[in-house]
Structure 1
């Protein structure tokens, strides 16, 4: 069962981590490349801030973004700001999201995300937690996939495994972590099932297209299935 109150607490903790790491950068570092192709660290920080405002819209029953073009344009507009402006924006947008989440609401209701994807309102805080944790890794500021909280890593693997289930072109895959946890995904492509084993961080890297993208995983001699981009 999703506990949105607990997830909101995790969002606050992750926000503090993100701000602490970002605050150690300088203006030159903000303009340097992030780990996301074509994005500087400034793009990553601008995206995280604008995502907070987008989730305010979701919780308030408005479209997440006015359009794909406006989303991309806002990130491009804000990316080149100095560090202090980014930090202020990150704090203020996080505060707006926290205030919206504190309003009386039916957390069992269905909300509409980007591209028409629907979800329960109760999962919006976890979606925000995802943005903060993965993009802190993308920021390339000393925080790695291996540093992610254990609970987050397991839940994000389960979340992405569910996302890739029944997607065309992905065979049935059993994910087995070296700590004993397991998940299943895929299941529509022809061919036999594949078992993929490795560390939780390695499994998450493959599912989320981060880090070594699964290079350290063991698929029993079979090639790793190709996953769509997030």
Structure 2
């Protein structure tokens, strides 16, 4: 059974692995394109740092971001900094968040917090959400860490998390059954119409996560018809 404290430890390990990999880069790699359209590696690293600050805001009962415009401006303004400055920013902001997680007790983890766009969740979800940010953006940096390198425990939980996130989502008009090669299934998307079966999307858990998180267009997956477009995250 997972606990938020255990997830916080996983965040710390994933962050250390990310920073260790970045230490091997040349400074000239920062302005190069990441695997996210329109973002350089500097954008990705700045976003990771500001996301840590945003989660601190959430824990303190403040808005996650002052505004969408301010969030985008902060990322844009920080993207062109030198590699060492970016690494320090990610390291220090991540450390502040780790300290905040370590100070939370059981009652704190059980309280409701407000995220972006009015979304609410338990505080206990925040370490896992941060773990997802670190793991997936490590992939997005395009520095040798791929979807296949994601920890199996993360892939399994992220798959269930994304299925839940997209269940009943107004941006998906198709009922979906996600089917892993080991036989596990998850229902998501639109409510199934009477007399119609869901669109079965089959593949490895990694391939499913890649598609659900927008990291692939569905490579490695099979379905009887074209895969539906998924809402942006």
Q: TM (normalized to structure 2)?
A: 0.93
Aligned residues: 228
Cα deviation digits, residues 137-171 of structure 1 (max 9, x gap): 00001000111000100111111100110113332
Q: Mapping of 1:192-207 within 5 angstroms?
A: 192-207=197-212
Structure 1 counterpart SS, 2:202: strand
Consecutive unaligned residues of structure 2, counting only runs of 5 or more, are none
Structure 1 counterpart SS, 2:92: helix
* 1:157 equivalent among 133, 151, 159: 159
Alpha-carbon deviation of 1:189?
Answer: 7.1
User: Partners in 2 of 1:91 and 1:177 — Cα distance?
Assistant: 36
Cα deviation digits, residues 149-200 of structure 1 (max 9, x gap): 0010011111110011011333221111113332111123766411111011
Cα deviation digits, residues 43-83 of structure 1 (max 9, x gap): 00000011001101111111111111111111111100111
User: Partners in 1 of 2:115 and 2:86 — Cα distance?
Assistant: 25
Could you tell me which residue of structure 1 aligns to residue 39 of structure 2?
A: 39
CA 1:222–1:8: 2 relative to 1, 3 Å? same
Find runs of 4+ consecutive structure 1 residues off by over 4 angstroms. none
Structure 2 counterpart SS, 1:228: coil
User: Partners in 2 of 1:176 and 1:121 — Cα distance?
Assistant: 30
Could you tell me which residue of structure 2 aligns to residue 215 of structure 1?
A: 219
Q: Given the alignment of the two structures, is residue 65 of structure 1 paired with residue 65 of structure 2, yes or no?
A: yes
User: Partners in 1 of 2:14 and 2:173 — Cα distance?
Assistant: 32
Consecutive unaligned residues of structure 1, counting only runs of 5 or more, are none
Could you tell me which residue of structure 1 aligns to residue 77 of structure 2?
A: 77
Range that drifts further, 172-181 or 184-193: 184-193
Could you tell me which residue of structure 2 aligns to residue 95 of structure 1?
A: 95
